[in-house]
Structure 1
């Protein structure tokens, strides 16, 4: 353990600890005492680390403590800005929250590249979100269809107390369908429901409506005269929104004449355009490449989703499902050469919001939206899609020209030097050194050791 902060490692034997009852009822200090005493080797040192990240403003810290349960401290991520994004004729500086080196730099570089080539164009084709009531029905399918036709108006009317505020904002329930899924699972049916939630992500609204549908469905079945006694007891298994939103789509694109597509000194514009198209085709042909290709896109997408207080896990799940919608996992971006122009675009399903949830509570989420001009949900969808497209353009451009490591490792240089315990003077010296030299991990370690030896 020499050379490491040993107190960050849980060295105590786990068999020494005992289950705890009522942990959530303990005060914050009591929680700290329990976790550090039972799971760490140096409780006082660990407590100092955890408290170091408490916000000095007590009201802000209290707010953060109440976001989740059993809060001990805050987990910080860097919050940066990628400037110079020209989107539909408007200039944006995009907030990004992410820990990975080179993401903000790559996005900024791509934004600058396209700034004088017409910028990014983006549009939203639809904003339909989905929720489902999953139920088991053991009976005659035709009877169920008749029952659904009879109960459908009541499904809408019983949900009116939940929908009236959303309807005032232009949203609400847009459709309820009965779907037979018995080919996939015996006796399995769905109420497949669609919603418009305007500027809210709408998860709570959708789930509340679905639970009301489930109640109306089960109570109505008990009273439906054509059902047998067994059919009257249809079984609702669960009611929940879906994070797969293939009809909540945004598109972002860039294009320019090939002669304006500068790939760098070592490659012509024509060769660069061709290699970019080939790289995207490879991502479509190989799922192994497609996963990494799309991960780079999500570097940009997730960073903006996080910075604006949205749910990046839901976005990730939906986006990757969309990448496999045709039965094979493929690239989310597309590229082609047409009539002497290079065209590069992305299409993403994004269910996000600009009101409600953390977007209204987290101070930095509110700041992010303010920096972006307090966009509507549709505008934010466009900004997020552009960030993903820019990230992918920058990554693929590096891959087909200089290689990914040259730029990435220079951005990663400070992380390596911090791990090595370099002083500020040593960092400055080595940063200058690697402006002219390739910054591989072994090269950085070697240069650092040589500098230390004098």
Structure 2
């Protein structure tokens, strides 16, 4: 039976594990053995992992794979991808090789502005608030100079602060809406530190503003926090080729494939049920690289899906067209990424992943990540509009099914060969394995 515990966070790791396994598992020793199996034998490295988060009991491993042959702006990359889903790395690699022979991927960073907001309640005359904001704005920037000093030296910092009236949404609700440039850092801590200082200065200076009544001076700061919606931190990735070069075999012409491909994209542009799955495929590629490079994939996901809904209905992130005989497939996507700070300087595999990518700047990483998403979507749409998604996906999933059934090496080898020419389904694999074991 489950029970509560006081002071859990103060226990040693071994004591935490003892309580967990004794409280929740029928076979405590087996559970403890599994947890310890995933510890790193290097004590220093394990301690590093233990200190990333709170109440650590073990490590949770994901495969780290690579997708080679990505030609991006005429430079070759091998892209690291941390993901558990089969066929993602294979699909990205296949798309990379396809476009390698057709000029590769072209990318550009459109903008890199990030946003933070101080949310506050003011019950008074808006004209007075505007006048106060105009007066206090230089002071807001001045009081953050110690925080922004190093960022400003590198060319970043606070770009602008706006007063926004949101009273049409919530009574007496206003914002200090601030734009930042954080260069190679994702910048969450930097932005939040600036915002909290803004809030302190804003509230203190309001008490001294002579035009405010006593009631108006009592500005209520609700919260100060960065936004993960970054529609002005935008990167574009695209591929193009002559329509006749789009087809690799005689089963379908380049023109027919282009037409079906564009129809599939058009459906995702207007049908939210399809768009969600369509964009999930893009995020298969993006999240895998974001995770491998020590960035925050939850923040990226939230910002990307908000961007996909910016016109009032959830829609495709990618677009396609044929003009003058040339097929073009492209995507503009918001990505707030960093190559310094956070895990980028701590996790050994993150360091390795960044070195594999030629130690990119944040702008370069934005372009690489966007390409991984575009490649993933291209591979998925190409399969969907030709052979169907399951043929390739289930072949990649075959090994997972065999592992679930505890197939030995000889059985895996025989069945891998068998399913090169047969359709992979769970029932078909079960039947074939049972027949093999008779």
Pair in the same fold by TM > 0.5: yes
Partner of 1:320: 305
Partner of 1:396: 381
Partner of 2:421: 436
Q: Map 1:42-441; keep pairs closer than 5 Å.
A: 42-262=27-247, 264-441=249-426
Paired positions, count:
438
Structure-1 separation of matches of 2:437 and 2:390? 25
Partner of 1:6: none
Structure-2 separation of matches of 1:23 and 1:341? 62
Return the offset for 1:19. 1.2
Structure-2 separation of matches of 1:81 and 1:71? 28
Structure-2 separation of matches of 1:452 and 1:24? 50
Return the offset for 1:17. 2.8
- SS of 1:250 mapped into structure 2: strand
Q: Is the 8 A contact 1:81 1:95 kept in 2?
A: yes
Structure-1 separation of matches of 2:220 and 2:431? 66
Q: 1:363-394: CA deviations, max 9, x gaps?
A: 10000000000000000000000000000000
Q: 1:398-446: CA deviations, max 9, x gaps?
A: 0000000000000000000111111111111000000111112221121
Return the offset for 1:265. 3.4
4+ aligned runs moved over 6 Å, structure 1 = none
Structure-2 separation of matches of 1:264 and 1:59? 53
- SS of 2:352 mapped into structure 1: helix
Partner of 1:7: none
Structure-1 separation of matches of 2:247 and 2:431? 35
- SS of 1:259 mapped into structure 2: helix
Q: 1:77-100: CA deviations, max 9, x gaps?
A: 000000000000000000000000
Structure-2 separation of matches of 1:18 and 1:83? 50
CA RMSD of aligned residues (A): 0.6
Structure-2 separation of matches of 1:412 and 1:371? 27
Structure-1 separation of matches of 2:243 and 2:217? 66
Structure-2 separation of matches of 1:266 and 1:291? 29
Return the offset for 1:18. 2.2
Structure-1 separation of matches of 2:342 and 2:118? 24
Structure-2 separation of matches of 1:111 and 1:298? 16
Return the offset for 1:198. 0.3
User: Which of these residues, 438, 448, 454, is aligned with residue 433 of structure 2?
Assistant: 448
- SS of 1:438 mapped into structure 2: coil
Q: Is the 8 A contact 1:263 1:397 kept in 2?
A: no
Unpaired runs of at least 5, structure 2: none
Structure-1 separation of matches of 2:373 and 2:249? 22
Structure-1 separation of matches of 2:436 and 2:331? 46
Return the offset for 1:263. 5.2
Structure-1 separation of matches of 2:119 and 2:219? 11
Structure-2 separation of matches of 1:105 and 1:271? 25
Structure-2 separation of matches of 1:270 and 1:215? 62
TM-score, normalisation: structure 1: 0.96
Q: 1:148-168: CA deviations, max 9, x gaps?
A: 001000000000000001111
Structure-1 separation of matches of 2:363 and 2:236? 11
Structure-2 separation of matches of 1:451 and 1:29? 45
Return the offset for 1:171. 0.6
Unpaired runs of at least 5, structure 1: 1-15
